[in-house]
Amino acid sequence: MAQYQYDTLIIGTGPGGEGAAMQLAKHGQKVAVIERHHEVGGGCTHWGTIPSKALRHSVSRLVEYNQSPLFADVQPAHRLTFKHILGHASSVINKQVKLRGGFYGRNDVAVLRGEARFADEHSLAIRQPDGSEELVTAAHIVIATGSRPYRPQDIDFNHPRIYDSDTILSLKHEPRSVIIYGAGVIGSEYASIFRGLSVKVDLINTRDRLLSFLDAEISDALSYHLRNSGTVIRHNEEYERVEGTDDGVVMHFKSGKRLKADCLLFANGRTGNTDRLNLKALGLKANSRGQLEVNDRYQTSLPHIIAVGDVIGYPSLASAAYDQGRLAATGILDADQDLGNLVPDIPTGIYTIPEISSVGKTEEELTAAKVPYEVGRAQFQHLARAQIAGSPVGCLKILFHRDTKAILGIHCFGERASEIIHIGQAIMEQKGEGNCIDYFVNTTFNYPTMAEAYRVAALNGLNRLF
């Protein structure tokens, strides 16, 4: 039997890599993770999920303060700069790095620094900053390298006024205007952040609707509130060329329009980080978006080479990546064990201002499938807790089957939506009669709370039945 230095090597210390490493280490394997950045945490901690949500939180509190009647007569409205809120984000990142680094230390997982590439099916060459290489071997190798922003070759991202969602965190000047190209989750979140800082925003959407995967009512609500805050949303536009100037950027569109701003944030798609892994040494090939194909045990065409997280595509969520890593590790530990799957209804959290979260089917999907459903709604403005908090914007919408009363989808718009959604998700995941909208009527909620929206929405929906 071949002798290897490690039982499993994991490339990347983001959520997918961490989930796999912790599961394997706690079951006695000798594990090492390889990280090319000088600190652990991956893109999720350093450039994506954590910093953008920390920025959003700071701006949201600023907006809340400036709009609160409690402080209207105390002193004039406050202003923050992008530099100010980056300071808060940096402190959160540092805390997360310290926390995650401690996980590896306590579980005896070796952290190897450098950039990994495959030398053969069981060997990785780790390139150090000084150019030297170290060869390490393992019985199993997990690819958890994450993704990066897509960069078209005809845009000069070295220009000091052109950014992607990673490099925007290095923004030094204070823009008065910004063009955000790409109105997906990342683009919409940053549109909220910049508008909260009183920056003029043009949000360019290549499609005809904002976040078209959402329930249409929720998507429309987001469009309304972004526009109401001053964001200009332009649908069905594609750029022709981008011109960087000394003091800004001019974007030329195929429709003949031109826009000028102090800077451009290009946020239109992501690419899996597989191009520098030397996959050809294994006979593996990523698709056009840098993603690898895997089976239901997260195995590539080589069973001992596993891939999890953004490099395998949908759902491309940090929460799902951690679970994928944990499940894949279970398969490594026991080749005969049934891994199970991710929950069928994975919640979506979108940290715009206001916040959005959804789980399950949309009205459009249920209508297309000819499922007889009914809708229960609760408006936040009618909830005592929302009135106390001064957060009247938003609603909770429950979709349920007219005959069985089973919950089919939950959609929430407003402050703390991504927290509120999990109450409904827990009931949706129950089997048989446990998944029933009657639960929200028959249980007793704390009062006043935002969770009370479930009781209000359930009663509203049941009153529609006949």
HSE-up of residue 215 (Cα within 13 Å, Cβ side): 26
The pair phi, psi for residue 425, each rounded to 5°, is -60, -40
58 is in an annotated binding site: no
36 is in an annotated binding site: yes
394 is in an annotated binding site: no
243 is in an annotated binding site: no
37 is in an annotated binding site: yes
212 is in an annotated binding site: no
201 is in an annotated binding site: no
360 is in an annotated binding site: no
Cα–Cα distance, 329 to 20 (Å, whole number): 5
Is the C-alpha dihedral spanning 166, 171, 174, 180 positive or negative?
A: negative
187 is in an annotated binding site: yes
313 is in an annotated binding site: no
272 is in an annotated binding site: no
145 is in an annotated binding site: yes
35 is in an annotated binding site: yes
39 is in an annotated binding site: yes
Torsion of CA 305, 310, 312, 314, to 10 degrees: 150
133 is in an annotated binding site: no
42 is in an annotated binding site: yes
Residues making up the binding site for FAD:
35-44, 53, 145-147, 310
Bind-site residues: 35-44, 53, 145-147, 182-189, 269, 310
Task: List binding-site positions for NAD(+).
Answer: 182-189, 269
